[in-house]
Every structure is written in C-alpha cells, then in structure tokens.
Chains A and B, each alone.
Chain A
Amino acid sequence: MEVCGGQTHSIVKNGIDHLLPEGVELVHGPGCPVCVTPLEMIDKAHAIARLPDVIFCSFGDMLRVPGSAGDLFTIKSEGGDVRVVYSPIDCIKIAHANPDKKVVFFAIGFETTAPANAMLAWRAKQEGLKNVSLLVSHVLVPPALAAILQSPENRVQGFLGPGHVCAVMGYEEYEPISAKYHVPIVVSGFEPLDILQGTLMTIRQLETERGEVENQYSRILDREGNKTAQKLVFQVFQVGDRNWRGIGTIPQSGYHLRAEFADYDAEKLFDVAQIATRESEICISGEILRGIKKPKDCPAFGTVCTPQSPLGATMVSAEGACAAYYTYGRHLNQAKGVDVPIHSVGGAA
C-alpha cells in the first residue's frame, strides 16, 4: 500500500500500477488529506464561509469539495469572500489588510501541512491579531497505519511510507509499528523512480522475511525529521481523537489546538457545533482507504459517482484513489495489464 495521496496520484498518472509484474499489487492508502476531511467539517467550513464578515482562506483543492449543499466556489459566487492561499501565513497579511473582517483558515492535512498551519496560529498570537482563526482538521499517519494493520480484513503486506510526512516527522515513530506487525515500511518519494525503487525495497524485505523501516527518500529526509518544525507543531497542537471520512474515529489520530491557542480556534469562535451530516450508503470509500477494495469494485464508480458529483471521500480530491482512477485510468480494464490497443507513434523528425 502506498500511504500518500500524492503517491497514488503519481502511480495512476504515470500508469505504474499496470507496469508491475504479476503478483505485485499496489493498493491505495488513506493519505489524501482532502479525502479524509469529514463531511461534517466541510459543512462547518461552508457555514463559516457564508458569513458576511468572514474572509475564508483555504488550500486550492478544498474549493471544489462538495458539502451537504454546494462547494466553496458556489459560496464565492453567492458573495462569500473565499480565497485560495498557497501558504497559511498569507492569512496574516490578509488579516492586517482587513481589520474589520474575520479571517478563517481551513487548516487541514497530515503532518506535512502542520508546521505551516502551526506557524499561522503562532504568528497570530505573537502579533496579538484578534481577527485570525483556524478551522482545524488535522490527521496523523501512524495511527491510521496501525488501524489498517489491526483490521481482521487487512491484506496489506507492505507499505510505501509517506515521504513528505516523514520529511517533517522523521520515521522513528514507524519503527514500533513495523516491529509489532512485522511489516516492511519503506518511506518513499513521489517520482516514478522513487515509487518503483520503494516497491522493489519492499519486495526484497518480503522475500527475505524482514519487516523493517527503510528510507528510499534519503535525498530528502532522515530518521529524525525536521526538529524545528516538530517543536513548533507541538507548541501549537496537541494529539487527540479525530474522525476520518470513510473510516470513522481513530483514537489519538489527529491534532487539535492547545488550550493556549483557544482564541484562534474557529470551532469555538463560530456557532457550528450543531452541524450533523449523513454520508452516502452506497459509497465504499472506507474500504478503499483501508486497502480492502479498489475503486472499480464499486458499482457507483464512474456512473453515479464522478469527480463532478462525488459520493464520498476518495472521489472528492485529485489525490483520492477513485478520482485518480477516473481521471487517468478509466480506459484500463479491471484485469491487470489488459488494455485497449495502443498505436505506435512516430517520433519527431
């Protein structure tokens, strides 16, 4: 299983899964931050973004994720002030420029985005800014891996570990998981060669009956990770239970703002506690996120469920397994390697 949505995206975009030999199957993991953000949290975001005195800031790919009614693009077209930011810190500038508005940042993601999101809260507090807050929906990779391995239905024999997450956190915390379940975890990058090498390293471990953490992405990260970033993250956030879309609540699987930062917690500042939601009953994204099923096992895939009208977690973001299959790979038949005819193409003269 490749853990990261970015890896899934690269695998399907480059057609790597269909180039692997018989007996090697890549299943797609839970590491798509947009996918696993609970619908309830998206509805809360939309309720806040609709308020007239709010500037709602978000990473780009959250804008098209539908809530129970519409998406952030729709809210923007109805007059909501919704802005895409590339860095959470941009919200500081926006807050200074709009002192009469409340600037809310949708702080989602795994450990990768946590340092920059933490920096926003930290800077806002340092500068005494009263009009910035964060709607936090942060999740962590290691508890999700443990949840997958504990499941009686689990069929994952090895993991391509999350390269960007480990660039922040290092990979020490994966060692107890690897040892406990005797499973290879190879922290891997995102380029096609990274993925192929990571897959090879995993298979070599399986063939020699090892279950260790290895680092394919050594040009980027080491065992310790980025200590400065970690320090900042733990100054601002504390670990607690989190609900994962498609999976459910996993204990100690996410970040929440520490009590010292309560003044910057949008869930406390805005009246959104009562929002409740219901997910589609057809959608099998929970099983897909745990590697039990694949997108094409779903009867709704590509028919009633498409990226334009997603039913659940794995279709909502480009990094979700269903959306990646639909966008890049729906021409490929279910059976591995079976493909419609390919014509040879002459190169340039």
Chain B
Amino acid sequence: MTQRDPAASTPVAASDSNSANPTSEIPSPLFGSCPLPIFQHKNIVLGHGSGGKLTSELIDKVFLRAFANPILDKLDDQAVLEINGARLAFTTDSFVVTPIFFPGGDIGTLAINGTVNDLAMSGARPLYLAAAFILEEGLPAEELRRVVESMGAAAREAGVQLVTGDTKVVNRGKGDKLFITTTGIGAIERDVNISASRARPGDKILLSGYIGDHGMAIMSKRENLEFEGAIESDCAALHGLVDCMLDACDALTDKRSDGHPLHCMRDPTRGGVATTLNEIASQSKVGMFLREDQIPVRESVQGACEILGLDALYVANEGKLVAIVAADAADAVLQGMQDHPLGRDAKMIGEVVSEHPGMVRMETRVGGTRILDVMFGEQLPRIC
C-alpha cells in the first residue's frame, strides 16, 4: 500500500512502495517469539504512516512478524507470482487523501493510477483492478459520483478494467469522507527482473521528471496557500513510460550477458525521491551519490517548500519514477524516457557507488555534500 496523504494514515501491508527498511533482520519464528515489547509505541502515531523510519519499524516489528514469507520479504512495491509458468504482478494500495479533490486530480484518479503504477514498476502490463470503498455517513452523493466517474475515466485511459469491488458505510465521524483501497493484477510478459535489491555499483540513477508536484498541490490546497502558477498534482499512469524504457532495453539486450539492464524501478510516492532511494540503497546494500543540480524541481514547488519549511526531495509524487539502470544502457533508457510525454523532463541524477552502503549522499548546488537521510516520521514544517 502506498499512502497518498502525507499526514493522515497508517500502512496496512508490506507489499507496498516506500514502506519498509529491508535491512532489519526479521527474527526467525523458530527461535520463539519474544513476549516482551517488540514495538516501542503504545499507540499508533501519524508518523507510522509517513514512509520513514517509524513506518519501517511498524512493518518490521508488527506486520512481517505475522506474515513473513519469501515473496513478502522482498518488500517490493508489488509481489511477483509465478503460476503455471505465467508471471503475475500483484499489489494493493489504500487512499486516504484530504482534500479528496485537488488541482490535477482527485482520490479516484489516485486510486487507479497508484495501483497501476505499482504494477508497472515490476515491468508488468496492468490488467485488472478491484476496488473497496469505505464511505462516511453524510458524504454528498454527488462527490462520490464525481470520484467514481474519474476512476472510470482513469481506468479506461490506463487500459485496465475494474472487475470486482466492495462498499461499506461507517457512522459519521468514523471515517474521513471516503477511503478507497484498490488491488491490481498484471502480467509480466517481458524477460525482466526488476527489484529494489538489484542496484549495483556503477549503475546510473534516472528520474522521470519534476519532483514534489503532487505533495505540494495537496498541501497548498489544504492550507489555502496560493502560489504564482498553480501547482498541479502530477498524478498519471506510468506503464506507457515503462514500456518505452523496456523497448529501449530490448534494443540492447542481445549484446548482454549480465541480465536485464533495468535493475530497479519505483514510483517515489510517500516520502519522495529521498525515501525511495534510501530504500533501494538499503535493500541493495549499496551507496548512492546524487547531484542536486540535476534534480528537476519547479520554481513554484521550491517556493512553496521554502514557505512551509519542507524539502522537495521528501515530498510525494504520483506520476514519477526512479530507475536504476546498468551504466552501458543508461543513455538509451534515458532517451527512451525522454521520447515519452511523461518522461520528457527525465534526467540522470546520479549513480550507485560501493562506498557508504545504505547511505544516499548528494553534491549540493554550491559544491558541498550532504546526506539524504531517511525521515524519522512526518516531515514537519519549520518554525522560521
């Protein structure tokens, strides 16, 4: 599950993007489960849904202990299942955004595109979705109709069908208007092996475009902040862009002996690009080195971040991806991205290094260096 609202919910499953710290060892159930507190918090706090260290702790100490299995333990955005020779991608995601309508989309478009993207990040062709709705008593029917219609439109545009679902209504005050969970299945038809554990020193890091648009569109709307040049969510289905990248790889693959050159791919949603790269660095046991001047951030987003005391590298995106690609294929894949409308502003933002495993570092605009750390919990606005 990928959380769409940076301030209002908690994760439910670990098959999620941005949700786990894979370096933490999961104690084997064979050695007895410790009855002492394994989870430090008496209650769930908002930070448990932030995608940062608190989320990792929740997943490691609570969910993985109960559910551990070899497929889940990979902690990718989606599970890859092999059934009778067919490879399927399978994922689920809950959407709890406030407000439910925002510039550039609504909770419905997010619910379709978010799950489509989690499938696409494995190289799968998204096929079918299921949707579960939790409606709060008193929700205007017109608002529900608008959301559902935009879901239908987004599904048609993404070429997926919504084939089953469920609806529940809760008492007023027991929900926040509308929560949607979508589950998706897709077919992996190409000979790919994409996983957050496959980054290798020397690989290049590609980013598909401007960062932070979605998170700042939501924040601006929520706080009634008006900026010059309205900030719109980048919410979009990315499987077409992924197709272009895989086509570019296919043109090279004949000459290769070291496996598919597209090693890792993730959509940097909750927690932003910094969190996603930290997850990959940690899962692949490699370091990363970025160049700040190559990371595209719109002036409006940068300005909004400065006003609110936030860092765009940690702000959510809903229509971007980061890819870790073998060095000799990187230029071709980048060209493939730039040939697609959703990758027009793609950049090579850095590379994978063998030093400082698990750590992401960045050369700043002025030539210094800094760490891009994993957030602890919520990104908090600074006082001044």
Contact = CB atoms under 8 A, between A and B. Distances in A.
B119 to A, nearest CB: 28
A313 to B, nearest CB: 14
Interface string B305-339: 00011000000000000000000000100110000
Contact of B223 (A34, A86, A112): A86
A73 B370 contact: no
Nearest to A9: B382
B384 A113 contact: yes
Contacts of B44: 77
Interface in A1-39: 6, 9, 12-19, 33-34
A108 B348 contact: no
Nearest to B366: A192
B356 interface: yes
Contacts of A61: 309, 380-383
A346 interface: yes
A317 B382 CA distance: 9
A235 interface: no
Contacts of B53: 308
B369 A74 contact: no
Contact of A60 (B45, B334, B361, B380): B380
A234 interface: no
B241 interface: no
Interface string A36-57: 0000000000000000000000
Interface stretch (A126-134, A150-158, A216-224, A336-344): A336-344
B368 interface: yes
B381 A59 contact: yes
Given A15-B368, A192-B365, A348-B347, A6 B384 contact: yes
B164 interface: no
Contact of B377 (A73, A86, A110): A73
Given A64-B376, A348-B347, A318 B291 contact: no
A64 B223 contact: no
Given A14-B370, A192-B366, A349-B331, A84 B381 contact: yes
B43 A74 contact: yes
B214 interface: no
Contact of B371 (A307, A329, A346): A329
A347 B294 contact: yes
A252 interface: no
A345 B289 contact: yes
Contacts of B384: 6, 33, 109-110, 112-113, 164
A346 to B, nearest CB: 6
B369 A332 contact: yes
B359 A74 contact: no
Contact of B204 (A6, A14, A308, A346): A346
A347 B41 CA distance: 44
Given A73-B46, A332-B369, A14 B364 contact: yes
A74 B45 contact: yes
Nearest to A13: B370
A341 B363 CA distance: 12
A327 interface: yes
B182 to A, nearest CB: 27
A16 B370 contact: no
Contact of A319 (B46, B334, B368, B382): B382
Contacts of A101: none
A76 B45 contact: yes
Contact of A18 (B309, B369, B371, B373): B369
A349 B335 contact: yes
B383 A86 contact: no
Contact of A16 (B45, B353, B359, B368): B368
B46 A346 contact: no
Contact of B363 (A331, A342, A348, A349): A342
B355 interface: yes
Given A317-B383, A345-B294, 13 more contacts: A16-B368, A60-B382, A73-B45, A74-B42, A77-B42, A113-B383, A318-B380, A343-B355, A345-B351, A347-B294, A347-B348, A348-B334, A348-B348
Interface of A: 6, 9, 12-19, 33-34, 59-64, 73-74, 76-78, 84, 86, 108-110, 112-113, 164, 192, 196, 307-308, 317-319, 327-332, 339-343, 345-349
Interface of B: 41-47, 53, 204, 223, 289-291, 294, 308-309, 331, 334-335, 346-351, 353, 355-356, 359, 361, 363-371, 373, 376-377, 380-384
22 contacts: A6-B384, A15-B366, A17-B368, A19-B367, A19-B368, A34-B383, A61-B309, A62-B383, A73-B45, A74-B43, A76-B46, A77-B43, A86-B308, A317-B382, A327-B371, A329-B371, A330-B371, A331-B359, A342-B289, A342-B369, A343-B355, A345-B289
